[in-house]
Amino acid sequence: MNISRIVILFKIFFVLILCLAIETNIDASPEEPVDSNRIPDVLIGFHSENSKAYALLVEKAVQRLFFYNCDGDFKEMFSMKCSTGKISGAKSISGDKKTPEGVYFFTNKFSDKDLSERYGLKAFPMDYPNFLDRVKGRNGYSIWLHGTDKPLKSRNSNGCVTLQDSNLEKLSEYITLNKTPIIILENLSYISDDLREKAEKSVLYFLNTWNNTLLGGTYHQYLSLYDSEYLPEIAWWTIWTKLRSSFITSGRSFNVELKNTSILKFDSVYVVLSDLIMKYDNKEKYICTKKFFIAYQPGRLKIIGEEYQSIPENFPEKFKEGSDNSPLTAACGNIIKMVNIYKEIPEMIEGWLKAWSEKNIKEYGKYYAEDFLSKGMSKKRWLRQKNALNRKYKYIKVKMDDLKINKKKGMGSVSFIQNYQSDTYRAVGRKKLLLKLEKDEWKIYRETWTRM
C-alpha cells in the first residue's frame, strides 16, 4: 500500500471520528450539564416569588432545545435534540409546515390518553399566533411541543417542536402552563451581563411607571405609555377611576402590583409576562396574568401591544371590545361589593332581632335561608315551632352585646351574647350564626346557642 493511500485512509478515518463525536453531542442525554457562561440575548430577567423559573429555547439551525434555570442567575442545565418544521423560515400561514419564531407560552397539557399516536406520550399546545404574529398577518393553529417514540429526524415536523418521549417526560415536570416560556429562533445569539442588566433595569423602571400611572394617573398619562399606533382597550378606565377613589376615600389600605415578572426579548421587542395583584386590607387577590409587548418607539419604551395570558376561571374568557369590564375592574368591583355587603351584617342582625322581639313570624322568617336546618328541622318546620313558642309569651325582648363578625368568601359567621327576656323566661348565652349570601342578601344558614 503506497503512502498516498495511507494518507487518504487516515483522513477518512479522522472525518468519521469527528462526525461520530458531533453526533454524540447532538444526542446528549438531558441530564448532561452544559458548561457555558454565555447567556442568550432573549433572556433578560426573571423575578419569581412563588416558584422556580425556567425557560426553553429552541435553535432551529442546529435542531436543538436548550433548558435554562432562570431562578436568580441564568444557567443552561442541559440540551436535547429536537425536530422542527420541514420547511425553513418563520411560520406565516396555516399548513406551510414551518415552525413559528418568537416568544410563546404553553396553554394546555395533554397526556397519551388524549392524543393520537403521532404526538407521543405528552403534548403542550403553545399560544401561537400571539399579538406580534397577528399584527404581521401570520396565522395557523395547533403548534405544540410534543413527543414521539420514533427516531428523531431533523426538520421533520409539520410545524411543531418534537422531542423523544423520554426527553419530554423529563422536561415536562419543569413546565408551568401560562408561565414557562418557549423561545424559538433560527440562531441563538448572546449578550453581555452589563447590557442585559441595563435592559432589565430599563424595562422594570417602565413597568413601575405603568403601575404607578394605573394607580394614580390620568387617562392621558396612561395612554402616553402606549405607542401611538396601538390603541389599547380602555373603555374600563372611567369605572376604574371611580373604584380606586372609593378605596382611597374609605381609608382602607389599597394597592395594585405587578409580581412574578419575566422579561424576554425577541426581534427588538421585549415580551413581559407579569401577574397583576391587588392588595387590600392586608390581603392579596390575584387579578390576571398580563403580557406586554414593549419596544423603543422612538427612543422611549412604549407598549406596542398587550394580552391577557390567563384570568381567573370565574371571569369571562374574553372581555368584549368597548366593554367597561376588565379583570381589574371586575376584581375591584367584587371586593368593594363584598366589603359593603359585610357592612350590612350588623343591620341584618338588628332587623332579625327586632322581628323576633315583635313576634312577627312572617318578617322573622325572611332572615333565614331556604335551606336552613336546625335540629333536623327544615325552615318551614322551624318557623312553625317558633311561632308556637312565641304565642306562649305576652312579650319578648331579645338584645345582643359583643357582636363579632368573621368573613369568608360568600359566607360569614357572627357570634354575640344574646339576652332573652319574656314575661315567664329569661336566659343569657352565646349565639352563633352561620350566614350565607342568597340573592345578594345575608341569610341565616345555621344557628347555635350555648347558655352562659
Residue 331 pLDDT: 80
- Collect all residues with Cβ–Cβ distance below 8 Å to 306 and sequence separation of at least 6: 131, 232, 290, 291, 292, 293
Assign 345 a pLDDT band (cuts: 50, 70, 90). Answer: confident
As a whole number, mean pLDDT of residues 252-269 equals 92
Average pLDDT of the chain is 87
Q: Are 136 and 155 in contact (CB under 8 A)?
A: no
Is cis: bond before 346, omega within 30 of 0?
no
* DSSP assignment of 14-39: HHHHHHHHHHHHHT--TT-------E
Residue 342 pLDDT: 67
As a whole number, mean pLDDT of residues 404-416 equals 80
- Collect all residues with Cβ–Cβ distance below 8 Å to 76 and sequence separation of at least 6: 34, 36, 66, 67, 68
Q: What angle do CA 182, 195, 225 make, to 5 degrees?
A: 75
Which residue, 89, 121, 273, is CA-closest to 186? 89
Flag the least confident range among 108-112, 116-120, 339-343. Answer: 339-343
47, pLDDT greater than 70: yes
Give the C-alpha distances (Å, rounded to integers) separating 74 from 31, 80, 231, 274: 17, 18, 35, 19
Domain ranges across the chain: 1-29, 31-191, 193-325, 336-451
Does the CA dihedral 225-226-227-229 come out positive or negative? negative
For the domain made up of 31-191, give the CATH fold. Answer: L,D-transpeptidase catalytic domain-like (2.40.440)
Give the C-alpha distances (Å, rounded to integers) separating 233 from 11, 281, 332: 66, 29, 18
Residue 27 pLDDT: 41
As a whole number, mean pLDDT of residues 279-291 equals 87
pLDDT single digits (tens) 298-307: 889 999 999 9
- The rounded Cα 313 to chain-centroid distance in angstroms is 10
- Collect all residues with Cβ–Cβ distance below 8 Å to 337 and sequence separation of at least 6: none
Say if 31-191 and 193-325 have the same CATH topology.
no
Residue 318 pLDDT: 54
Residue 204 pLDDT: 97
Residue 333 pLDDT: 74
Assign 438 a pLDDT band (cuts: 50, 70, 90). Answer: confident
Which residue, 181, 174, 177, 194, is CA-closest to 263? 181
Q: What angle do CA 182, 187, 191 make, to 5 degrees?
A: 85
213, pLDDT greater than 80: yes
pLDDT single digits (tens) 133-190: 999 999 999 999 999 999 999 999 999 999 999 999 999 999 999 999 999 999 999 9
As a whole number, mean pLDDT of residues 370-395 equals 91
195, pLDDT greater than 70: yes
Which residues, in sequence order, are bridge partners of residue 330?
none
Q: What angle do CA 16, 19, 25 make, to 5 degrees?
A: 140
As a whole number of angstroms, the distance between CA 20 and CA 377 comes to 81
CATH number listed for the domain at residues 336-451: 3.10.450.50
CATH class of the 193-325 domain in this structure: alpha beta
pLDDT single digits (tens) 234-254: 888 988 888 888 777 766 778
As a whole number, mean pLDDT of residues 383-391 equals 91
Query: What grid cell was written down for 357?
Result: 322581639
Residue 245 pLDDT: 85
pLDDT single digits (tens) 6-40: 444 444 444 444 344 433 333 434 444 444 468 99
DSSP state of 251: T
Phi, psi for 265 (deg, rounded to 5) = -140, 135
Assign 284 a pLDDT band (cuts: 50, 70, 90). Answer: confident
Does the CA dihedral 343-344-349-350 come out positive or negative? positive
DSSP state of 370: T
Assign 230 a pLDDT band (cuts: 50, 70, 90). Answer: very high
Does the CA dihedral 184-187-193-199 come out positive or negative? negative
As a whole number, mean pLDDT of residues 374-386 equals 91
Residue 220 pLDDT: 95
DSSP state of 386: H
As a whole number, mean pLDDT of residues 323-331 equals 77
Strands 144-148 and 39-40: unpaired
Check residues 36 and 271 and name the one with the higher pLDDT: 271
Instruction: State the amino acid at position 208 in one-letter form.
Output: N
Flag the least confident range among 161-175, 318-332, 404-418. Answer: 318-332
Ranges of beta strands (E only) in 132-205 are 144-148, 161-164, 181-185, 190-191
pLDDT single digits (tens) 112-131: 888 988 899 999 999 999 99
Assign 330 a pLDDT band (cuts: 50, 70, 90). Answer: confident
Instruction: Please state at what angle helix 237-250 crosses helix 327-357, rounded to 10 degrees.
Output: 50
Which residues, in sequence order, are bridge partners of residue 81?
64
Residue 2 pLDDT: 53
